[in-house]
């Protein structure tokens, strides 16, 4: 995949993808879903090619927080019909609509925020822990019909000394991913404070509650899975504790695994559908023992 180079912008190191546990991967519902009919101006999240070209940038502190970073000219784009990528010239770019969706990612340290961002943008995963110092920033541009959509993803380091940078991540964000590690209950308990602080800077952003490391969580004893799932999900559907957080937040709830490619792309499809109030046909999953995915009733 081609990465457009810019002066002063370092291209990211590519990470080698790890082989997936096919049995576990098959437990997740596929990302391919039936598209619905849309008019020429509609944006349908179910037909978006989330493997399109992207741009990646290391974070450089701007003069002020921004939600619409300038896009680089000459960035390649891939059409949804599967044709080969081509370079956009200036005239072509001027005829296309361009939408930027800023997405903030917050949560405790070592829960997999950076890994999920890199997986979505680069399609790769590295099992080595990479600590975020301050803020990481990456972009991915997808193309649908006559619209170019750039996900501008901001990842805040989970250490408390970086909390003063929270406004940079949350201000003007269309959606905020409040993330926790399914294998560490303390990171779920921290969500309440992350939510309180994030909401203090942005009361209109779409909240998404994301549980990471599902590939490890699925190996927990059934009763432990039920306890955490119930804690997180009590909110929306049943007396589950995990759902309780999601209901209080009025947030979609998604269990994910970066290493096994479970629900990574679906997170951003749901963000897209909620940002434009569009119908999304991704099937929900609410059974304990499966990667929960609940979003329709919030």
Q: Do the strands 135-144 and 175-181 form a parallel or antiparallel pair, or are they unpaired?
A: unpaired
For residue 265, give both structure tokens. Answer: 């792309």
Given a cut of 50, whether residue 100 has pLDDT beyond it is yes
Q: How many structural domains comprise the chain?
A: 1
Alpha-carbon span 137 to 60, nearest angstrom: 9
Q: What is the mean pLDDT of the chain?
A: 71
Domain carrying residue 290: 43-294
The three-state DSSP-derived secondary structure of 5-27 is: CECCECCCCCCCCCCCCHHHHCC
Confidence bin at 139 (pLDDT 50/70/90): very high
Among the ranges given (53-67, 97-111, 191-205, 207-221), the one the predictor scored with the smallest mean pLDDT: 53-67
Q: Which residues contact 254 (CB under 8 A, 6 or more apart)?
A: 208, 209, 210, 211, 263, 266, 267, 270, 291, 292, 293, 294, 295
Tally of CB atoms within 10 A around 270: 22
Tally of CB atoms within 10 A around 215: 22
For residue 255, give both structure tokens. Answer: 């269990």
Q: Comparing C-alpha atoms, which of 192, 9, 177, 159 is closest to residue 102?
A: 177
pLDDT at res. 70: 34
| CATH code for the domain in which residue 100 is found | 3.40.50.300
Given a cut of 50, whether residue 145 has pLDDT beyond it is yes
Q: Which residues contact 232 (CB under 8 A, 6 or more apart)?
A: 188, 209, 211, 240, 241, 242, 243, 244, 245, 246, 253, 292
The reported pTM is 0.69
The residue that leads in pLDDT, 292 or 20, is: 292
């Amino acid at each position: 995949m081609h990465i457009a180079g810019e002066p002063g912008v370092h291209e990211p190191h590519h990470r080698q993808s790890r082989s997936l546990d096919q049995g576990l991967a098959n437990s997740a519902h596929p990302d391919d879903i039936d598209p619905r009919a849309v008019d020429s101006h509609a944006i349908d999240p179910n037909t978006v090619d989330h493997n399109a070209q992207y741009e990646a940038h290391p974070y450089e502190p701007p003069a002020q927080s921004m939600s619409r970073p300038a896009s680089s000219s000459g960035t390649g784009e891939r059409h949804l019909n599967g044709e080969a990528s081509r370079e956009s010239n200036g005239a072509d770019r001027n005829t296309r609509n361009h939408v930027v969706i800023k997405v903030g990612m917050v949560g405790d340290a070592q829960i997999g925020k950076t890994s999920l961002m890199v997986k979505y943008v680069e399609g790769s995963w590295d099992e080595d822990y990479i600590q975020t110092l301050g803020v990481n920033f990456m972009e991915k541009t997808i193309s649908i019909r006559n619209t170019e959509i750039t996900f501008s993803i901001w990842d805040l380091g989970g250490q408390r000394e970086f909390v003063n940078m929270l406004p940079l991540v949350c201000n003007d964000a269309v959606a905020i991913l409040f993330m926790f590690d399914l294998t560490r209950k303390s990171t779920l308990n921290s969500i309440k404070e992350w939510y309180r602080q994030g909401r203090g800077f942005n009361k209109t952003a779409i909240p998404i509650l994301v549980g990471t490391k599902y590939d490890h969580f699925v190996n927990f004893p059934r009763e432990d899975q039920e306890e955490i799932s119930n804690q997180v999900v009590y909110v929306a559907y049943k007396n589950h504790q995990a759902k309780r957080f999601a209901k209080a937040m009025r947030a979609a709830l998604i269990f994910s695994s970066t290493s096994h490619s479970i629900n990574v792309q679906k997170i951003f499809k749901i963000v897209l559908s909620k940002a434009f109030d569009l119908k999304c046909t991704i099937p929900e999953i609410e059974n304990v023992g499966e990667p929960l995915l609940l979003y329709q009733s919030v």
